[in-house]
């Protein structure tokens, strides 16, 4: 069985591969808050396990085997988050740290039961897709709210950033997944957006808009 450490590395590498395709040592070190030499030795180990392709000084590439293994861990993470929100009444800002631990539990039955009780959800509470048991994952086809034009009416589908602070900010503005948002105005200077949704009218910063994924 792989250690929690290995699983956490692999997950970070997988996520960085999605974002940039080219994964580098420094990015992993920052994401995991470990030193560069620690990453270097773990990367060699993962390569030895056939999960990465590693050549000195070259960007890292995750293998298909690595991708699948990572996706299965992410599956457990996201199912857990969904379960905590839907079945245990937690807020979407409370679940990540718990899921970060539960994702390492070794018990197919446990996660399969969550999946079943949830009715086989496709997305987690933050709108990210839940990989299937084979490690296949739907690609996000949403655009950023920041790329929308005045007059458009869109639906909030997912978040591209899920820090506690951001989620609490969204709570404070009653911004939830599924709400319909109308873009009223875009300020040319700073790209701030005036939007209307569910009885609210708010001005959202360009930073916030860039993290909101809509369709």
Partner DNA sequence: TTAAATAGTTAGCATAGACTAACAAATTTA
Partner DNA sequence: TAAATTTGTTAGTCTATGCTAACTATTTAA
Binding mask 115-154 for a second copy (x = CB under 8 A): --x-------------------------------------
Work out which of 16, 25, 80, 128 binds DNA, going by CB under 7 A. 25
Binding mask 7-46 for Mn ion (x = CB under 5 A): -x--------------------------------------
* Strand spans (E) along 75-192: 143-144, 153-159, 180-186
24 binds DNA (CB under 7 A): yes
CA torsion 111-14-30-76 (nearest 10°) is 0
Buried b (16+ CB within 10 A) or exposed e, 133-160: eebebeebebeebbebeeeeebebbbbb
35 binds DNA (CB under 7 A): yes
Cα–Cα distance for residue pair 66/195, rounded to 1 Å: 41
56 binds DNA (CB under 7 A): yes
Binding mask 70-109 for a second copy (x = CB under 8 A): --------------x--xxxx---x--xx--xx-xxxx-x
Cα–Cα distance for residue pair 136/168, rounded to 1 Å: 31
Binding mask 35-74 for a second copy (x = CB under 8 A): ----------------------------------------
Phi-psi region of 50 (alpha: psi -120 to 50; beta: other; left: phi over 0): left
With beta carbons less than 8 A apart as the criterion, state whether 181 and 214 touch.
yes
41 binds DNA (CB under 7 A): yes
42 binds DNA (CB under 7 A): yes
* Residue 101 CB, nearest approach to Mn ion (Å): 6
Cα–Cα distance for residue pair 105/73, rounded to 1 Å: 9
97 contacts which partner out of DNA, a second copy, Mn ion, none, CB within 5 to 8 A by kind?
A: a second copy
Cα–Cα distance for residue pair 70/85, rounded to 1 Å: 23
DSSP string, 139-166: PP--EEGGG--TT-EEEEEEES---HHH
Work out which of 100, 110, 143, 182 binds Mn ion, going by CB under 5 A. 100
57 binds DNA (CB under 7 A): yes
With beta carbons less than 8 A apart as the criterion, state whether 94 and 160 touch.
no
User: Where along the sequence are the contacts to DNA (CB under 7 A)?
Assistant: 3, 5-6, 9, 24-27, 32-38, 40-45, 54, 56-59
User: Where along the sequence are the contacts to a second copy (CB under 8 A)?
Assistant: 84, 87-90, 94, 97-98, 101-102, 104-107, 109-110, 113-114, 117
């Amino acid at each position: 069985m792989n250690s929690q450490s290995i699983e956490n590395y692999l997950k970070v590498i997988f996520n960085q591969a999605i974002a940039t395709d080219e994964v580098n040592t420094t990015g992993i070190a920052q994401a995991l808050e470990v030193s560069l030499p620690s990453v270097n030795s773990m990367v060699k180990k993962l390569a030895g396990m056939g999960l990465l392709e590693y050549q000195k000084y070259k960007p890292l590439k995750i293998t298909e085997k690595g991708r699948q293994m990572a996706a299965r861990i992410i599956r457990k993470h996201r199912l857990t988050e969904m379960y905590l929100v839907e079945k245990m009444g937690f807020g979407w800002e409370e679940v990540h740290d718990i899921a970060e631990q539960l994702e390492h539990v070794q018990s197919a039955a446990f996660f399969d039961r969550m999946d079943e009780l949830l009715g086989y959800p496709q997305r987690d509470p933050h709108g990210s897709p839940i990989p299937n048991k084979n490690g296949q994952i739907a690609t996000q086809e949403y655009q950023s709210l920041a790329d929308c034009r005045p007059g458009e009416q869109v639906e909030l589908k997912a978040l591209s950033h899920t820090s506690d602070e951001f989620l609490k900010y969204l709570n404070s503005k009653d911004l939830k997944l599924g709400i319909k948002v109308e873009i009223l105005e875009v300020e040319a200077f700073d790209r701030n957006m005036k939007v209307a949704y569910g009885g609210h009218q708010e001005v959202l910063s360009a930073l916030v808009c860039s993290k909101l994924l809509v369709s």
